[in-house]
Structure 1
């Protein structure tokens, strides 16, 4: 059984490349030219994270730049890199934020976690998707891997740019669709095209089985949808709505979620653990999500455990509900409601542990601890700008994709998240 153990975050000067298992030493500099400008949130917002980074060219990266970024990332949790003179140019073969062979964005996850040298995709090996003129493309229709750098995936919807890193002509990414996953009734097509939207799935990036969740997540905006703001609907009976930019990535801080709990519930989550389902995403693939995207509906539709691929209890992930930032000491409620399978509840370190196995009870508790944070004043919906790169600390933020009208055009993002060397500690 995988249980979190204590860890420290030590940055090293070596860079373990995701491709080729080569090593580079970062160019040395005494001081970074980077500067941080906090993201200004609206007066009615309670969001307290996020910053823009200026002065660092991700194609020309030094050891001082990394230290600057690492400190800023752990402090601000989300960094948006501006002023990039070019989109992480492929010819920059020695760029420490790119793969040696082609310069594609594979942000230096290993540099944040020097013990990790495998470069493994955080959700495990990809299946073969298709083959074109002898080039094999791995992944899923909604998450194809870039052929020349399979640790980088394409997220979004619509056609890719022409000659996009060995993808065949007219290749299109199949976008998310809440009709495939959310509990009916769904938003009618005409309302969706008029700008009605939903949060698809609130989560942190992780396989939730065997593989440790990444420390850092990353997106490079290649193409972004163009059109008016969309209106995200909660569709949970509260009538709650929120205007956001089309194709935005919505984020919530686990620290805010923790702060919103009453004292009794906070004591419980500080001392309790979650057991996630084996092969959690296959397990939930036959079930319905709540319309808010934070839980599964309890309908008995999950795939039976004996119909999953082979699994062992030793590889089942059992994580604390509260994780600690290794640089700042800040604590975050970091949970995945849809994958939750069993709860181990205690109100104090030495208190009696209550094991909850009934899925309806599990989800009622998960709703109790997650739902208070999922209100507009706690959500930051990042409006991606083409050529910008965002990094976020995956062990302190929840995030969700959002839908947008097809008429707004394609959304093409390069995503990289690489499994960490260890499981999270409280």
Structure 2
């Protein structure tokens, strides 16, 4: 077992860099006591399983073999009956085992800036994503005050919640309706920086604190009147395989042979724009940050990914597209067909949804699993086969404190 060695840049450097190199092998064992129990759904969702009998703070190589196989087959795993809260170090080690060729161990969105420094302690990250110093690839997501004495965080430290009012196109949900349990999907995506850094193979969330209250009602806000009742603070998920399956045959052939170019520093680029109410596209209003105003970028850092990714274990194909970061399209209807390059953002977004309806067919209640987090449970998902979104809940329900681990992969997705 080789433990982490951290290297830290000097105070004069900004943002401060936290890097790590680690090769971790879990303790060996000949067999695992883990049990895989598929989740039964009352809609068309066909992914997800619960795992019993594995203590993630002490998992063995046999346990990991079971976990890896189950993850690629079920795409989402929920680890139940954990005897203790998963440590950040072990959460990182679990994620890192899925990519032994990755040597830097870096956070999937790059180096974190300094968030605050007081009483000799420096915290890195963003207000809505502070990093845990003990393992800087593990961040706190959610909203509200962290538990007293939580790692290096000062007393009363609060994580800033993500609010659709700050990102979605108006009209926004009135505050009184939100207080009564009206909710929205914030952003449908898979995890990744969309620039330079390969997206993680897996995502991992530990529920430290969960909001307490009745179910909330997610409103689509697209004129259809669709709604969905879910647990407060649930993470909504959709299978990319289902997204591919529900496309019209002609469109399916196109996406199978086409690619997307994502904007440089895509999240900075879209930060001045506004999302659709459903959280899957950016509205075309000309509000994106100009490319010459972005942080320095180079052409060789631009990410151009296939629209469809293949599960290396099962061979299953998934439509994996990030509509909000899409910048250009390279379209073919067969492997050796002529390629059409689409550069106009309005046309790019029309193809993604409005005219050709690539994303919205699957964004329907019967295809969505909204995972109801339980404190001390851990969820692990195959990031290259699922889309997900956070959902909103009333502030009166209390804090939602989650530990998330994202590690840059050793390779970019291929067909």
Asked whether the two chains share a fold, i.e. TM above 0.5, the reply is yes
Who is 1:50 aligned against?
A: 48
Q: Does the 8 A contact of 2:24 with 2:97 survive in 1?
A: no
Who is 1:157 aligned against?
A: 143
Aligned length: 399
Residue-by-residue CA offset, 1:104-163 (whole Å, 9 max, x unaligned): x32422211111021111011111111121111111101111122211100000000000
Who is 1:70 aligned against?
A: 68
Q: Aligned match of 1:372 in 338, 341, 361?
A: 361
The Cα of 1:16 is off from its aligned counterpart by: 7.6
Q: Does the 8 A contact of 1:346 with 1:352 survive in 2?
A: yes
Q: Please say if 1:113 is aligned against 2:99.
A: yes
Structure 2: gaps of 5 or more residues? 7-19
Q: Please say if 1:144 is aligned against 2:130.
A: yes
Q: Aligned match of 1:395 in 373, 381, 384?
A: 384
Q: Please say if 1:83 is aligned against 2:81.
A: yes
Q: Please say if 1:421 is aligned against 2:410.
A: yes
Q: In 2, distance between residues paired with 1:192 and 1:69?
A: 38
Q: Does the 8 A contact of 1:16 with 1:111 survive in 2?
A: no
Secondary structure of 1:235's aligned partner: coil
1:6-405 equivalent positions in 2, closer than 5 A: 17=4, 21-42=21-42, 45-88=43-86, 99=89, 105-367=91-353, 368-405=357-394
The Cα of 1:313 is off from its aligned counterpart by: 1.1
The Cα of 1:365 is off from its aligned counterpart by: 1.1
Q: TM-score when scaled to structure 2?
A: 0.94
Structure 1: gaps of 5 or more residues? 1-13, 91-97
Q: In 2, distance between residues paired with 1:410 and 1:106?
A: 23
Which runs of structure 1 show a deviation greater than 6 angstroms over 4 or more consecutive aligned residues?
A: none
Q: In 2, distance between residues paired with 1:396 and 1:199?
A: 19
Secondary structure of 1:400's aligned partner: strand
Q: In 1, distance between residues paired with 2:25 and 2:48?
A: 29
Structure 1 residues 134 and 18, CA, compared in 2 at 3 Å: closer, same or farther?
same
Who is 1:407 aligned against?
A: 396
Residue-by-residue CA offset, 1:70-94 (whole Å, 9 max, x unaligned): 0000000000000111112x5xxxx
Structure 1 residues 365 and 15, CA, compared in 2 at 3 Å: closer, same or farther?
farther
Secondary structure of 2:250's aligned partner: helix
Structure 1 residues 79 and 360, CA, compared in 2 at 3 Å: closer, same or farther?
same
Residue-by-residue CA offset, 1:345-402 (whole Å, 9 max, x unaligned): 0000010110111111111111111000000000000000000000000000000000
Q: In 2, distance between residues paired with 1:247 and 1:190?
A: 18
Structure 1 residues 24 and 264, CA, compared in 2 at 3 Å: closer, same or farther?
closer
Q: TM-score when scaled to structure 1?
A: 0.92
| Backbone CA RMSD of aligned residues | 1.3
Q: Does the 8 A contact of 1:84 with 1:388 survive in 2?
A: yes
The Cα of 1:298 is off from its aligned counterpart by: 0.3
Q: Does the 8 A contact of 1:15 with 1:111 survive in 2?
A: no
The Cα of 1:24 is off from its aligned counterpart by: 4.3
The Cα of 1:25 is off from its aligned counterpart by: 3.4
Structure 1 residues 17 and 251, CA, compared in 2 at 3 Å: closer, same or farther?
farther
Q: Does the 8 A contact of 1:207 with 1:279 survive in 2?
A: yes
Q: In 1, distance between residues paired with 2:238 and 2:24?
A: 35
